Every structure is written in C-alpha cells, then in structure tokens.
Amino acid sequence: MRQKISTSVVTGLIATGLNFTPVLADNHTVTTESGAVQGRSENGVNSWFNVPYGHSERYEAPTTPVAWQGTRDATVPGQGDIQLDSSKSTVNAPVTKGFENDLTLDIYRSKTTHKKLPVLVYIHGGNNQSGLSTELSGASFVKRHNAIFVSINYRLGGLGFNPLPALKTGTKAENSGNFALLDMHQSFKWLHDNISQFGGDPDNITAAGFSAGGRDVMAMLISPIFKNDFKQAIVFSGGMTTSSPEDAQQIFSQKLAPLVVDDGIKPDVVTAKKWLLSSDAEVAAYLNNLSAERITAQLGGDAGIRMAGFPHLYRDGYVLPKQGFNTQKYLNVPVLMTTGSQEFSLFGLSDPYFKSAFSDGKLTGKSTIAKEFRFVNKYGGELYQYFNVQRSAEKMTKHRTAPTYALHLDFGADKNAIDQTSQMKLLRSFHGVFVPLLDTDNTNYKTYVGKTYQSTGAKEIANTFQNSIYRFMTTSHPSQAKSDWPPFTGEAKNIRVLSATDKRVEQKLIHANQSGPSIIKQMHQDKTLTSEQKDKLVHDVLNGRWFSAPLTKW
C-alpha cells in the first residue's frame, strides 16, 4: 500500500486552518492532502466535482496537485480537458472547449456513515480525443449500492498523446508519449492516498472504462506502471489497441506540418514534416509554445474508431511493451469484459456513406441503401463484438491465472423491448447500450432510445446489470451463484448473455464459437447484396476500424 499522508503535511494543513474532518461532515467538506473540498448532497447522494488529482505541464508527467488555501468549491462539474466542440465546429472553423491540463475527478458516494466502501474508477470514452468525466454520473448507482463512483478527466488529443522525437528528453515515462495514461496512473495514486477521506477503501479499487476508456483499461493490463493500482478491472466495449510510435510520428508530423508553414518556420509541408520528425530542440520549443487550441484543432477531429486518424497508446517499451498485447506479462487481476451485440450501429449511422440516407429516413425497408446498412450493421456488429470480448479474452487467458468474465448485452434484440418510434429500432444493442442501465438518470442517449429504458423489462435488466457490477467490485465475481457465470477460459469460452423483453429480463450462458474467418465466411455467403456491393462496403465503411483485422484478407 502506498505511504499515507506525512506528519509534515498534516502539520502544514492544520497551520493553515484546514483540519481533517469526518467523512460525512454536515457541510460535506472533506480534507485531501492538497486542501479541503466542499461538495453537495442531493437525493441521498454526496458528490464532489472538479477535484484536482494532479498537476501537469505540457508534455510532462503529472505530479501531485498544487495545494490550495481555504476550502475549494466542489459543487459544480468542471469543463474537462481541451477538445473540439463538435456542436459548434465545422471543417474550416474548429471551435474548442475545456482547459489544458484539467486533471480533475468527480466523486459520488451514498449518503451513509459507512466507510471502507468499494471504489469504481470510470475512464470516459471519446477516442482519447474528447469526452468528459460527466459522461456518466455515478449518482443512481451509489444510491442503490453502498459504493463510491469516481470519474476522471485526463489530457486528450495531441496533448494527451504525442510521439514526436523532439519531446523525448525527459523520463522514460514522459518519453513514451502516453501522457493520458500517465494522468490515469496519477489518479490512482491520488485515490490510494485520499479516497479513505471520502469513505472509500484504497485497497478495493476497480478500474473501469467505456470505449476509448475501455481500451485504456485494456492497455493498463499490459502496463507495468499500473501494477498495484487496482484490484479488478471492468472493460465496457474496449478491445486491444496499440500503435507503433514510428507510424504515429509520421501521422502527427503530417497533421502538424501545415501549422509550421503557416507560422513561417518552413516553406512547405514536406520540409516542415521533416523538421518535425527531427530531434531538434527548436521543435520541442515550438510544440510547447503552440496554443492548445491550434494543436487540438489539428489533431482533434473524429477519427471514426480508426487508429490511422489519431494514433495513440504507443508501444514505447516502458509504459506499454513493444510487443503490445502479444506480451506474456499481464496484470493478474480479475477482469469483466462487456460488449453490446450491435456495437457498430451508431458508427454506421454517422458514416458518410449512410449519413444522408439516415437523415432522410431511408435506412428501413427494401431499398438498396437499407439493405447495405443492415449488412454493415450485422457484420460490423459481429466483428466489433468479437473484437471487444472473445478475441481479447482468448489472448489474455493464455497469460493470466486471474479469472476473466465475459458479458454480451443483447438488450434490443427483442423488438417488443424497443420504443418503435425511436432510432433504437435501427441501433438495437448499440455502442453504449449499457450506459442508461448503469446510470439510470442518464439522458445522453434519449434522442436515440426514446422510452425504451422505461419498460418493466428495461428496469429489470438495469437491476441485474448493476448487481453484477457491484458483486464484481466487492467479490471479484459478477454472479451470486458462481456456477451461473463461470469464467472464460481457453477450453470453455463462457459468455453470459443479458437481454430483456418489455416485461422481464432474460439471461443465458453460451459458449463462444465465432472467429474472424467464420464471420468473413458468413459475409461472403450473404445473398442480400451482390459481391460488388459488399466489396464497396468493406472498402468504404468497414476497413481500418479497430475490429477490421479479419478483413485484411477480404
């Protein structure tokens, strides 16, 4: 366990008038090692927002937060790290929001006097280019379960990841270019030292993440710097992704070269790119002096779940092994992996190939474009689901003795469970289908799902899903009866399937039998489209995605 707060720090805090307070003081004030924070209480939940867990300078490893005097207001959510504002940006006029180096977190806990509560640390999604800690509130979860829910902000885009050689003048961790992962590591350090003040158990922390956050948690499982940071891990829709630093350098230099030309440093993008690929100290100075807004505008665009658009999670050899997920050294902690069954549907709707047809309401019926959407939705979903859980579990279980549990969320498979006036009739069990189950107050998907999550069956599946998450946090097993949910192994590829009608929850255990080649074979045998149509969809829509490796032999 990490060293507790030192006597000198305590003395310093008392000298400034900051006394250690009970976990649940009437004014919701808690003293951390850096200072006091005042939260709020609402509907049976105590919460603290925008609490600093670290301090960082650009392209440096984070350190402990800068101490503050008095009591910090922690009643209002922060704006998160700087990123593109998709609601206001256009291709030619990018608009940013948030702040650089916003290393803060939000804490939710049930309004009880209990201590030593299990802690879930949530890493938000957004391709490591966007997203906020408030993506998912922990209020409804901790109100129902005796737990603490923490959600963090971390550096994003070209400020959270940068592989360029000129920046490699620091520590091994800094030279990795994986600054966002260093932020996440710092958040666990802070929690080990401070979460007991909020009633949490520093020895029972669960790392969890969705989408990019899920992929980050997967990366933590092969990173030696995260050893002893958490007791178990939950991965929501996050498979195995890393990138080559050398390939990433080519892409970053290409994307940043126009700025070098605009600033009059080099005459053209060719020489600008060559300069950016050098170890020249002037390159480092230039990158450190560029405005965060300009870096974000160049490197913050939607990469469309393609590593080529924004390479990150570098196989540097220190933070992440050079072999990536082919390493034989994994953190030996229990892991719960989850996925929706139609994970690609949201990305299909937003793909340029289908975007206008979706806006015009042409993706249903017997039209060619509707058939094409059903094709990519079906097989993109199967490939993505396979990538998120089965493929990753098969690789991990070879090198770990700790159990791996697998879950398919198939909510939406029964058409009676879906609000037929909503877009969920197209999306089904989409990327993020779990969010309104875990955060039952969440309205982020309301446009898509309508009243789907208000049925009796939806409420039952939410209860069942939350119970599984809580049991895993407290016992390292997601089921009350262990025989109902055996672990995924190389011999017995057990996957729990959780679904619902509009009236009740449904559960079953299956044994995975899919593979990349078997899905490709089904695609070839599909008679709903011609070979030419399928070739075009594979090339234009499905290629280059996280899950697309099996398509290389198409």
Is the sign of the CA dihedral 18, 19, 24, 25 positive or negative?
negative
Give the per-residue pLDDT at 326: 97
| E strand intervals along 239-384 | 335-340
Share of the chain above pLDDT 70, in %: 95
pLDDT, tens digit, for every residue of 398-428? 999 999 999 999 999 999 999 999 999 999 9
DSSP string, 54-107: -B--TTS--BSPPP-SSEEE-SS----B-EE-TTT--SSS--EESBTT--EEEE
> Which distant-in-sequence residues (6+ apart) come within 8 Å of 27 by Cβ?
38
Give the per-residue pLDDT at 231: 99
Instruction: Assess if residue 151 is contained within a domain.
Output: no
> Which distant-in-sequence residues (6+ apart) come within 8 Å of 289 by Cβ?
none
Res 4 pLDDT > 80: no
Mean pLDDT for 536-542 is: 97
Binned at pLDDT 50, 70 and 90, residue 19 comes out as: very low
Instruction: Assess if residue 431 is contained within a domain.
Output: yes
CA distance 478 to 467: 8
**Helix locations, 340-414, DSSP H:** 345-350, 352-359, 368-385, 392-396
Instruction: Assess if residue 360 is contained within a domain.
Output: yes
Q: How far is CA 378 from CA 22, 141, 315, in A?
A: 53, 32, 32
At 445, the amino acid letter reads Y
Mean pLDDT for 151-168 is: 98
Higher pLDDT, 381 or 26: 381
What is the residue-averaged pLDDT of the chain? 93
Share of the chain above pLDDT 90, in %: 89
CA distance 214 to 118: 20
pLDDT, tens digit, for every residue of 29-66? 999 999 999 999 999 999 999 999 999 999 999 999 99
Is-contact 333 402, C-beta < 8 A?
A: yes
pLDDT, tens digit, for every residue of 259-276? 999 999 999 999 999 999
Query: Would you state the torsion angle of the CA atoms of residues 487, 492, 498, 499, taken in this order, to the nearest 10 degrees?
Result: 180
> Which distant-in-sequence residues (6+ apart) come within 8 Å of 437 by Cβ?
409, 411, 453, 458, 461, 462, 465, 466
Mean pLDDT for 444-473 is: 95
Query: Would you state the torsion angle of the CA atoms of residues 200, 205, 211, 212, taken in this order, to the nearest 10 degrees?
Result: 100
Burial pattern 415-425, b for ≥16 Cβ within 10 A else e, equals: eebbbeebbbe
Residue 62's region, left for phi above 0, alpha for psi from -120 to 50, else beta, is beta
Binned at pLDDT 50, 70 and 90, residue 89 comes out as: confident
CA distance 94 to 340: 32
Burial pattern 319-343, b for ≥16 Cβ within 10 A else e, equals: bbbeebbebeebbebbbbbbbbbbb
Give the per-residue pLDDT at 444: 87
Instruction: Assess if residue 419 is contained within a domain.
Output: yes
Tokens representing 245 are 């630093």
Give the per-residue pLDDT at 3: 38
Res 8 pLDDT > 50: no
Higher pLDDT, 10 or 79: 79
Res 14 pLDDT > 70: no
Res 17 pLDDT > 90: no
Instruction: Assess if residue 514 is contained within a domain.
Output: yes
Mean pLDDT for 238-257 is: 98
Give the per-residue pLDDT at 84: 95
* Number of domains composing the chain: 1
Is-contact 387 425, C-beta < 8 A?
A: no
Give the DSSP H/E element, type plus range, for residue 344: none
Residue found under tokens 């929706």: 340
Give the per-residue pLDDT at 480: 86
CA distance 73 to 85: 26
The count of other CB atoms within 10 Å of the CB of residue 509 is 12
Mean pLDDT for 201-205 is: 98
Tell me which residue range forms the domain holding 448.
336-456+485-553
Instruction: Assess if residue 420 is contained within a domain.
Output: yes
> 335-340 and 404-409 as β-strands: parallel, antiparallel, unpaired?
parallel
> Whole-prediction pTM value?
0.94
Give the per-residue pLDDT at 223: 99
Give the per-residue pLDDT at 27: 54
pLDDT, tens digit, for every residue of 518-528? 999 999 999 99
Res 9 pLDDT > 60: no
Q: How far is CA 264 from CA 166, 253, 255, 257, 299, in A?
A: 19, 16, 16, 11, 20
Higher pLDDT, 311 or 86: 311
Instruction: Assess if residue 112 is contained within a domain.
Output: no
Give the per-residue pLDDT at 12: 37
Of 229, 156, 213, 244, the C-alpha closest to 388 is 213
Instruction: Assess if residue 398 is contained within a domain.
Output: yes
